[in-house]
Structure 1
C-alpha cells in the first residue's frame, strides 16, 4: 500500500511537471507570437519601402524634401498637410517588455530591429534622410526683447528671492484674501497666501502643519491608497524646518510669505539632505548630492519647508509616471489612473492638497502633462529663465525647471522666488523680470493663435471642453482667435524625441558603463536602447528642424500674443497591473500626451496649463497657452483670467488632505 501511494505521488508529480513544461512552452510560444506580430509589420513595411525606392539599395529609404521656410504658408487656408502622430508600436508590459528589451540589447537583432523601428516611425524619411537648407540651432536661447507687456512691474534682476516674492505679493489682488473657514466656491485649495495668513494670525503653526503633512503622507503611502507620492522624505528634517519657521512667526519675523509653506522637489533636482535618484535605484550612488540646486537654495532662503523628493518616471524616460522601483504615482481624482509624467509625484501631491506648490522638470511636457491630468496649474518658463545648476543633466537643451501649483497665483509666487541670474544669460544678455499686475486691469486685445487641425487632434471631451473655455475668454474679455497653420508638427515631435533621447543617452554614458543593467527598470532599458541608436547625423538634422520651427513660430508670434491648444490629447488612462513591476511601453498614448507640449521644450518657449474642466469620467482637462520668449508675465495674466472663469466648476479630488482645516 505504501509503495502504491509513492507510485501515485510520483506519477502526479510527473503530470504536474509535464503541465508546467507545457505551460512554459505555451508562454514562450505566446510571447514569440506576439513579438512576431509586433516585428513583422515593421519588417514588411520597411521591405516595401525598399522595393519602391528607385535606387533599390537594401537600406535605402524615401526622404522628405522640405521647402524653404519663406515659401511655407502659415495661414488658415494653407495647403500644408497635417500629419497625425505616426506611432507604430503596440502597448507592452510585463514579460513582453522584458523580451523586447532583450531583443533590443542584442547586438545582431537589436541593430536590425532599431533600424526598422526608426524607419517605420518615419525618422529616416522625415529626419535622417531629409533635405533642408536651414543650418542647425543647438540651443533654444533667445535674445531678450522688451516686448512692452501690458500691466507689468519691471524689477531689477539682482534682487534676492524674498525681495522678489514681496514684490510679487504686491501684484496680487486684495480680493484673494479669503477667510480660513473656506469660500463660497464648490472646491478650493489653500494657497501660499492662506498658509502665511494662518501662521501670522496664530490660528495654526508651521509645526502643526508639518505634523499633519507627515501623517497624511504616511496614510497615503499605505494600503489601500498606496499613492506613491514620494521617493524620499524625512520626518525629522521636515519637523526641524517647521520648528525654525514657527519660532520666526512667534517673533513676528517671517522671512517671506513662503515661510513655513510646504514645497516638494522632484527627485531630479538636488535638495539636501536627500539623494537625487532620478527615479532610479542606482544613479545617486554614482552622482552624490552635495548641495542644493540653485532654485532650491532660493526657496530655502525664502523660508519654505522643503518636504522631500517626489516620485518620477525613471530617468524621465516616459509619460505615465509608473515607476517599477518606487511605485506608480496615482491620480488623486481616480487612484486607478496615471498621473502623467515625468513629474508625477509633484503633480499628484499638489492635487491632493499636501503642498500648494512643487517643483518639476519639463523636458517634454513633464510638468504640464501631469499638471493637466491631475487638475492643477503647470508653468514652464522660458529656457534659461530659472538657474538650472544642481539639476540632473539628463538633457541639456530641452529641460527646464518648472512649477506645479494649486493656483496660478501660487505658481507666480514660486516663479518670482526662483527667477534669477542664469549661466545662460549673463551681463548684457540677462533678461528683465516682469511681474504681472494681477491686481490691475486684465490685458486687452490679446490675440490667441489657434491651429485648428492640431487643436482638434484630441478626444471629443477635451476638444469640447477647451473650445468652451476659449469661448469664455472671447465673451468676457473680447480676446480674438487668429487661425493659423503650424506646419510639420509631427516632424518637430520626432526631432524633439531624437534630441532628448540623444542628450539623455550621452549625459548618462559614463554612468551606464559602470552599471549592472539589472538595476534598471525594463521600460527604461528599452528607452535607453532606443536613445543609444540615434546617430550624430540624425541629431544634427533634428537641430535643422529646430531652426525651421523657430522661424515658423516667430512668424506666428508676429500676429498673435500666444498659441492656444489643449495640454494633452487624452485624459488620464488606467494603470494596469502588468505594468507595476516592469513599467509599460505605450507609445500611442504617450504621443497623445506629448502632442501639444513639444514647442515649449524644443524651442524654449514659456508655457502654462490651466485646468478648465473634466471629461465624462470626471478626469481633469487642461488648456495650454504657449508664449513668446520672456513673456511669462503675459502668460500668467492670461492663465489668471482663464482660471477665474473656471473656478466655479473645479471639483474636489477623491484623495484630498486639508492641512489648514481647524479640527
Structure 2
C-alpha cells in the first residue's frame, strides 16, 4: 500500500464504524547491527530517548486510538470469546480404518508415491505386514540425524525412548490389537509444550540453561500417546514464539524443506518442516498469531487452529499468551488433521474413531470474502492462485458472498498489545522480576529483546480518548468487539470466511547478525490475527504452486469458521486434496524421506 494511502487508512481508524478497508502493516525502522544494539541499550536502560522512541512507534501505528465507544462499554463485560466451546465428532466403528491410500496400494511392493505419506499409509502397512513398527523405527533413527543436518527441524530426540514406544506398538500389532488408527505413527511436539524426559525451554536460553527434563507429558502428548502414537522428539520453535522467521539464537536456523534457502515461517517452524519432510505425518504446534497456520502454509501442510478452549493448553512450558494461544495440529492431510484433533482432545476408547472425511457437497455453502483484504497480498501470483481457487469452489456450487469487515487494523493493534503484555507478564511471574530483567539483556536474542522492551513502554500508555484508559485494558475490550463482528458475519452473512494464508512467498533466510523487521512480521500475519483475537477456528490448506527455478513453493488458502466448526473447515480443506473436488497435486519437497513401505 502506498505511504499516502497508509496514512489515510491509519487516520480513518479513529472512526469506530468506518467500513473502509483500513489494515496497515506496523511501521518501524528495520534494525540491523549495529543500530539494533544501540536502540536495545537505550530501551533497556529506560532512557528518555528509548521511551520516546517506543512512544512514537505506538502513536504512529495507531495504538493510542484503540478505544471506541463500543470498546469502552465492553470493558465491564468480563466476556471470554468462544472459551470452553466443545466439538462433538460423529463417530463410526470401522474394523480396519482408514482404508489404504494412494501410497499404500498392495498392487506392488514399491508403488509410485503420489502424495505425502499419511496415517492411513502407516496403519495399512502395519496391518498388511508390509512393514512393522520396528522397521519404521530403524528407518526413522537412520534419517532423523541426517535430516536434521539439512533442516534442523527436530531439536531433541531420544533413541531409547523412540525404540521403547515402537516396540510396544509392534507388540500390539502382532496381537492384531492396535489402540487406534494412529498407533505406531510418529509425531513431534513443539518445544513450547512439555514431554516426559525432554527439556522444555520455549526456545529461549532464558529457560534452557536452567531447565530440567519434564516429569510428565502435557495433556495433548499424553492423549496422543494413549492412542499409540509415537513421540519422536521436540521440534524447533522461534524464541518464546515471538519471531516469524524460523531463526532461534539458541537452536539456530530451521529451514524450509521446499527450498532450504528459505524460511519455513514461525513460530512452530520445526513442526511444519518435520511434516513436510516426511519425518512424521502430523505434529503439534501452538498458535498465538498464526504460528500453526503460517508454517503449515509455507510447508504445503494442513494447519488447524481450533476453537478456543477445545484443545487443552495444560502442560505448556510457559503460558506465553493465555488469551490468544491455541494448541493444534499440523498434518500432511486434512484427514490426518481430523484424526489428530480427535485424539488430542481427550482419551478415547479403542473403537471411538472419527468418521472419515468425504468430498463434501458445497452447493449453497456461503463463502464470505472481503475482497480488499483478500487481495492485499505482496505477490500477484498468490492473488491469482487464491482467486482461481475461490472460482473453483464457485463452480462446485458454493455461493461467494461479498462481505465487509471493519476493525481489522484495530484487531492487529489489539493483538500486538495483548500478546506482548502476556508474554512479558508470564516470564516475570515464572522467573521473578529481577531475574527476568537480567535475562532480557543477558539471554534473549535481539529480535525478541527489542519486542519485549518496546512492550514495556506501550504497556504504560493510555488511549487518546477522554477517558484515558490503560492501553492494554482497551485492547482486551477491542477483542470482544471484534469477536462480536466476526460472529455476526458467520451467523448472518456466510458460513465461512476465506482469505489467502500468507501474502508473500517464503523469504530467504537472513545471513549475518541479528535483525528486527516489524513491518515484515506484521505483513506476514495479515490474515492470521482475527482468528486468534476471536478464538474462532481457522484452517489452511495448500491450493497451488509457484515455480522458482527448480523449487516448488506452496500457496495456502485459509478458511475461518464459527465456534466448533472444525469438521466443516477440514472438509473444505479435504476438497483441495480430493480428485473428486479441486484435486491440487502434491509436489515432493527438496528434502523428503519416505518410510520403508513407500517409494
Q: Same fold (TM over 0.5)?
A: yes
Find out whether 1:141 has 2:141 as its counterpart. no
> After superposition, what is the alpha-carbon deviation per residue over 1:241-269, rounded to whole angstroms, capped at 9, x for unaligned?
11221222222222111111110000001
Distance of aligned partners of 1:280 and 1:243 in 2 relative to their CA distance in 1, 3 Å threshold = same
Find out whether 1:112 has 2:32 as its counterpart. no
> After superposition, what is the alpha-carbon deviation per residue over 1:502-528, rounded to whole angstroms, capped at 9, x for unaligned?
111111113263244322211111121
| Cα separation, 2, equivalents of 1:100 and 1:313 | 22
Q: How does 1:568-583 map to 2 (within 5 A)?
A: 568-579=502-513, 582=514
**Quick check: which has more Rg, 1 or 2?**
1
- Is the CA contact 1:448–1:562 (under 8 Å) kept in the aligned structure 2? yes
Deviation at 1:403, TM superposition (A): 0.6
Residue aligning to 1:494: 413
| Cα separation, 2, equivalents of 1:318 and 1:139 | 29
Residue aligning to 1:297: 222
TM normalised by structure 2 equals: 0.87
TM normalised by structure 1 equals: 0.79
- Is the CA contact 2:538–2:569 (under 8 Å) kept in the aligned structure 1? yes
Deviation at 1:99, TM superposition (A): 2.7
Deviation at 1:207, TM superposition (A): 1.8
Correspondent of 2:294 among 337, 349, 369:
369
Deviation at 1:220, TM superposition (A): 2.1
Residue aligning to 1:649: 585
Q: How does 1:122-201 map to 2 (within 5 A)?
A: 122-124=62-64, 126-127=65-66, 132-136=71-75, 140-142=80-82, 154=90, 178-179=104-105, 187-201=114-128
Correspondent of 1:508 among 424, 427, 439:
427
| Cα separation, 2, equivalents of 1:551 and 1:662 | 48
Distance of aligned partners of 1:331 and 1:449 in 2 relative to their CA distance in 1, 3 Å threshold = same
Residue aligning to 1:460: 380
Give unpaired runs (5+ residues) of structure 2. Answer: 1-6, 461-469
Deviation at 1:490, TM superposition (A): 1.4
- Is the CA contact 2:264–2:272 (under 8 Å) kept in the aligned structure 1? yes
Distance of aligned partners of 1:444 and 1:145 in 2 relative to their CA distance in 1, 3 Å threshold = farther
| Cα separation, 2, equivalents of 1:657 and 1:440 | 29
Find out whether 1:281 has 2:205 as its counterpart. yes
Correspondent of 1:81 among 20, 36, 43:
20
Bigger share in helix: 1
> After superposition, what is the alpha-carbon deviation per residue over 1:618-640, rounded to whole angstroms, capped at 9, x for unaligned?
31110000000111111111111
- Is the CA contact 1:168–1:412 (under 8 Å) kept in the aligned structure 2? no
> After superposition, what is the alpha-carbon deviation per residue over 1:422-474, rounded to whole angstroms, capped at 9, x for unaligned?
xxxxxxxxxxx995652475354211000000000002111101111111111
Distance of aligned partners of 1:335 and 1:63 in 2 relative to their CA distance in 1, 3 Å threshold = closer
- Is the CA contact 2:82–2:534 (under 8 Å) kept in the aligned structure 1? no
Q: The residue matched to 2:361 in structure 1 has which SS?
A: coil
- Is the CA contact 1:298–1:418 (under 8 Å) kept in the aligned structure 2? yes
- Is the CA contact 2:305–2:329 (under 8 Å) kept in the aligned structure 1? yes
Of stretches 460-469 and 127-136 in structure 1, the one that deviates more from structure 2 is 127-136
Distance of aligned partners of 1:145 and 1:324 in 2 relative to their CA distance in 1, 3 Å threshold = closer
Distance of aligned partners of 1:218 and 1:533 in 2 relative to their CA distance in 1, 3 Å threshold = same
| Cα separation, 2, equivalents of 1:451 and 1:247 | 53
| Cα separation, 1, equivalents of 2:95 and 2:416 | 38
Find out whether 1:322 has 2:247 as its counterpart. yes
| Cα separation, 2, equivalents of 1:172 and 1:138 | 44
Give unpaired runs (5+ residues) of structure 1. Answer: 1-47, 49-60, 73-78, 156-165, 422-432
- Is the CA contact 2:367–2:497 (under 8 Å) kept in the aligned structure 1? yes
Distance of aligned partners of 1:107 and 1:144 in 2 relative to their CA distance in 1, 3 Å threshold = closer
| Cα separation, 2, equivalents of 1:269 and 1:473 | 37
Residue aligning to 1:19: none
> After superposition, what is the alpha-carbon deviation per residue over 1:320-345, rounded to whole angstroms, capped at 9, x for unaligned?
11112111110001001000000000
CA RMSD after TM alignment: 3.0
Q: How does 1:91-110 map to 2 (within 5 A)?
A: 91-108=30-47, 109-110=49-50
Deviation at 1:646, TM superposition (A): 5.0
Correspondent of 1:630 among 552, 564, 571:
564
| Cα separation, 2, equivalents of 1:90 and 1:168 | 57
Residue aligning to 1:354: 279
